[in-house]
Amino acid sequence: MCATLLVLGHLAAGAATGIAYLSNPLGPWDHQSFDHIRLFGELGFTVALLTAPVTILAVARRWLRPWWILPCTVLTLAAWGRLTVFFPSH
């Protein structure tokens, strides 16, 4: 049950983060693309953060193996990176 929930959460966070990375503005005037990147980056970051407590609980209770923390961490850092470090400049 936990694994199914986490896989769905990771897929949703990965899809949103992937869309945020694949979206590139045409120029500084393309405000819709900047909003699009911010929206999907925040969506991916939020879903990744929501799966984090479930992952930690499932690993702590030994329902799942410790490697389940890795996808959650990678997705959270990737979404955070797109919102901060890798956000295109205006």
Residue 74: pLDDT band with limits 50, 70, 90: very high
Provide the residue type at 30 as one letter. Answer: D
pLDDT, one tens digit per residue, over 22-67 is: 999 999 999 999 999 999 999 999 999 999 999 999 999 999 999 9
Residues 20-53 as b or e (16 or more Cβ within 10 Å = b): bbebebeeeeeeeebebbeebbebbbebbeebbe
Please tell me the predicted confidence (pLDDT) of residue 38.
Answer: 97
Q: Which residues contact 2 (CB under 8 A, 6 or more apart)?
A: 54, 58, 63, 64
Q: What is the pLDDT of residue 90?
A: 77
Q: Give the residue-averaged pLDDT of 18-22.
A: 97
d(CA 51, CA 78): 15
